[in-house]
């Protein structure tokens, strides 16, 4: 599966935030003063209590939220200086797992999973083949024609993960990717994410659980402020 856009700046960091801040709502403080640089292939676990600002950070990195101040660069580009079409091309290089899942309710499971590839212009047969393989791997092979509302939360979350990784993104941003899953499914999903990271994708996982997965880099957030980044465990 090809990526949506050619890698124009191969040496640029995958993600760079400099003094980035994002209000929770207009006039309400959210996240402030985040400085972060991730090289290609890095893996960062962001953890903190509920309301610490993890989702705001993921929103800034995933281009779903415009920074109130500071600077955000993704794959060497300042997305908010690009035209909408350029920003769209950049978004195709990201794989997002939203906390609210953001499934398209009137598309089938297969349709949801295929969406990033369709948007990137992949051929329909390639789409069908890859989606079938991916859904099988995620344990959703038998539900390909179901609608998201017919899935339980565990299945919905697996579908969100499948959709995020379907386009072989260069950067994967996973906000509580296994929060509602049973232990087996969670292990399987985390294994998939780590495998993609080993293959070169930059991975950022946000979770309330600091022990969710061993990560070489860890960043704790508290009340919207980053605490000192700590080195984590090296993957086996």
Partner 1 sequence: MNRRLGPRLATVVIAAAFTALAGLAGLAGQASFDRAEGWRARLAGEMTVALRPSPAADADAARAAEVLAGTPGVAEARALDRTKVGALLAPWTAGARGPDLATLPRLIAVDLDPRRPARRQDLDIALSAAGIDALVDDHQGWRRSALELRERTAAPLVGVLVLCAAGLAAIGGFAAGQETGRREAGLRTRLRLGATPFSCLVPVIRAMVADLALASLAGGLVAAGLARASGLLSEVAPLAQAGLLAAVSATGLLIAGTCAFAIAARRIGELES
Binding site for partner 1 (CB under 8 A): 4, 62-64, 66, 84-85, 87-94, 96, 98, 102-107, 115-116, 119-120, 163
Q: Which long-range contacts (CB under 8 A, 24 or more apart) does 128-132 make?
A: 130/1, 130/166, 131/162, 131/166
Please state the closest distance from residue 135 (CB atom) to partner 1, in A: 17
* Nearest to partner 1 of 84, 183 (CB atom): 84
Which residue is listed with tokens 């070169």?
Answer: 200
Given a contact cutoff of 8 angstroms between Cβ atoms, the answer to whether 186 and 157 are in contact is no
User: What are φ and ψ of residue 83, in 5° steps?
Assistant: -70, 160
* Nearest to partner 1 of 104, 126 (CB atom): 104
* Nearest to partner 1 of 22, 103 (CB atom): 103
Please state the closest distance from residue 122 (CB atom) to partner 1, in A: 12
Please state the closest distance from residue 76 (CB atom) to partner 1, in A: 17
* Nearest to partner 1 of 37, 102 (CB atom): 102
Instruction: Name the 3-class secondary structure at 181.
Output: coil
End-to-end CA distance of the chain: 27
Which residue is listed with tokens 């295929």?
Answer: 114
Q: Which residues contact 187 (CB under 8 A, 6 or more apart)?
A: none
Please state the closest distance from residue 210 (CB atom) to partner 1, in A: 27
* Nearest to partner 1 of 104, 222 (CB atom): 104
**Rounded CA separation 12/78 (Å):** 12
* Nearest to partner 1 of 108, 232 (CB atom): 108
Q: Tell me, what DSSP letter sits at residue 137?
A: H
Q: Which of 48, 6, 10 is nearest to 225 (CA)?
A: 48
- Torsion sign (Cα): 67, 72, 74, 78: positive
* Nearest to partner 1 of 53, 116 (CB atom): 116
**Rounded CA separation 66/51 (Å):** 18
**Rounded CA separation 169/153 (Å):** 24
Please state the closest distance from residue 151 (CB atom) to partner 1, in A: 16
């Amino acid at each position: 599966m090809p990526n949506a856009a050619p890698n124009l700046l191969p040496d640029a960091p995958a993600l760079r935030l400099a003094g980035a801040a994002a209000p929770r709502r207009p006039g309400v403080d959210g996240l402030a003063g985040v400085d972060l640089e991730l090289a290609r292939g890095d893996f960062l676990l962001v953890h903190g209590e509920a309301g610490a600002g993890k989702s705001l950070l993921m929103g800034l990195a995933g281009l779903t939220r415009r920074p109130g101040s500071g600077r955000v660069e993704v794959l060497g580009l300042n997305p908010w200086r690009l035209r909408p079409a350029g920003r769209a091309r950049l978004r195709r290089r990201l794989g997002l797992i939203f906390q609210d899942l953001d499934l398209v309710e009137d598309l089938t499971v297969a349709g949801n999973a295929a969406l990033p590839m369709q948007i990137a212009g992949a051929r329909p047969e390639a789409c069908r083949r890859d989606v079938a393989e991916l859904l099988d791997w995620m344990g959703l092979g038998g539900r390909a024609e179901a609608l998201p509302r017919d899935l339980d939360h565990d299945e919905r979350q697996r579908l969100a993960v499948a959709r995020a990784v379907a386009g072989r993104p260069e950067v994967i941003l996973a906000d509580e990717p296994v929060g509602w899953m049973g232990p087996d499914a969670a292990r399987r999903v985390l294994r998939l994410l780590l495998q993609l990271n080993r293959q070169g994708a930059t991975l950022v996982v946000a979770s309330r659980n600091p022990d969710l997965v061993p990560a070489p880099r860890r960043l704790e957030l508290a009340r919207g402020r980053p605490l000192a980044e700590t080195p984590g465990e090296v993957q086996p």
